[in-house]
Amino acid sequence: MTRKTLKVALLQETHRGSRDANLDAIEAGLREAAAAGAELVLLQELHNGPYFCQHESVDEFDHAESIPGHSTERLGKLAEELKLVVVASLFEKRAAGLYHNTAVVFDRSATIAGKYRKMHIPDDPAFYEKFYFTPGDLGFEPIDTSVGRLGVLVCWDQWYPEAARLMALAGAELLLYPTAIGWDPNDAQAEKDRQRDAWITVQRAHAVANGIPLLSCNRTGYEPDPAGVGAGIQFWGSSFVAGPQGEFLAQASTGSRELLISEIDMVRSEHVRRIWPFLRDRRIDAYADLLKRFRD
């Protein structure tokens, strides 16, 4: 990469009540980001609707869409008009009974530059994603764009150092995480603090361990359990941009909609990797056991 700096934007949003209302809010955010000089915009996970995975219901599959489809057409036109690289996140219907949690990248064009299907699929209270999503089959392959090679991953992927490492080994120059994560409102404040701190810390560690900047865009606001069984989720926002030593370049609030804008020094990754040459010192001859589920 020859560019020295890159201005990025993260659109931290709440569910606005419908797909079209959410897309209207995204359009307004993209226009604001472009006016501020941003070239790359990261959207939150499953931004078209509520986080429906709080329950298991076959009716939720009705909200999935094909790629390309309605949303990619609208977002692609905006990317082309505003000359933006946009990373979107959609509930993909690939075929009857086959659905994915899919990130889609546009490179200043209505044409899709690439996509990534979420590889790690959680199945936890209020996050019943295995009911809806087939694990990704596109691997950990960065997507080449006019602003650099993007290592796009999605939410639960952000807890796995293997995913970040494989993207870095394939030449990713940035790590990007569309995210939907929050608190159980019934948890004690100390537990809430631990969870949020862990989420931030593990991602900053990926930036450090790989010597590249990282962008994480989370949703915010309270969303009730559609089934009325659970306490709902209070999404904690806190979207952030970290540099190649894990340093905060920008960080959003926990509880409000926000367009977070930051400028990244793209030359620093090379400098950091020279003084902290983790890739050089990896003992690839001794890591075979990583391919095992567990060492009994």
35 within domain boundaries = yes
Q: Domain range for residue 116?
A: 5-291
Check: CB of residue 154 under 8 Å from CB of residue 101: yes
pLDDT at 277: 97
Question: Two tokens at 158?
Answer: 């952000």
Please identify which of the residues 39, 92, 115, 118 carries the catalytic annotation. Answer: 118
> Alpha-carbon distance 139 to 137, whole Å?
6
Check: CB of residue 15 under 8 Å from CB of residue 49: yes
What's the whole-model pTM score? 0.97
> Alpha-carbon distance 148 to 113, whole Å?
12
92 is catalytic: no
Helix (H, G, I), strand (E, B) or coil at 283: coil
Q: Which of 48, 76, 56 is nearest to 126 (CA)?
A: 56
**For 72, which DSSP code?**
H
Question: Two tokens at 59?
Answer: 């009716």
Question: Two tokens at 188?
Answer: 């004690």
Q: Which residue intervals of the chain are DSSP H helices? A: 19-35, 70-82, 161-169, 189-210, 268-275
39 is catalytic: no
32 within domain boundaries = yes
> Alpha-carbon distance 210 to 14, whole Å?
31
190 within domain boundaries = yes
284 phi/psi in degrees, rounded to 5: -65, -15
pLDDT at 46: 98
> Alpha-carbon distance 179 to 292, whole Å?
28
| 176-232 pLDDT tens trace | 999 999 999 999 999 999 999 999 999 999 999 999 999 999 999 999 999 999 999
Residues of the chain predicted below pLDDT 70? 1-2
- Cβ atoms within 10 A of the Cβ of 32, count? 15
Rg (CA), the chain: 18
Angle at 202 between CA 115 and CA 252, to 5 degrees: 75
pLDDT at 2: 62
296 within domain boundaries = no
CATH number for the domain spanning 100: value is 3.60.110.10
Total length of the chain = 296
**The residue to which tokens 């080449």 are assigned:** 144
Please identify which of the residues 60, 155, 217, 223 carries the catalytic annotation. Answer: 155
pLDDT at 175: 98
Provide the number of structural domains found in the chain: 1
47 within domain boundaries = yes
Between the alpha carbon of residue 115 and those of residues 223, 272, 291, the distances in Å are 27, 29, 26
pLDDT at 231: 96
pLDDT at 3: 77
45 is catalytic: yes
Please identify which of the residues 45, 92, 129, 173 carries the catalytic annotation. Answer: 45
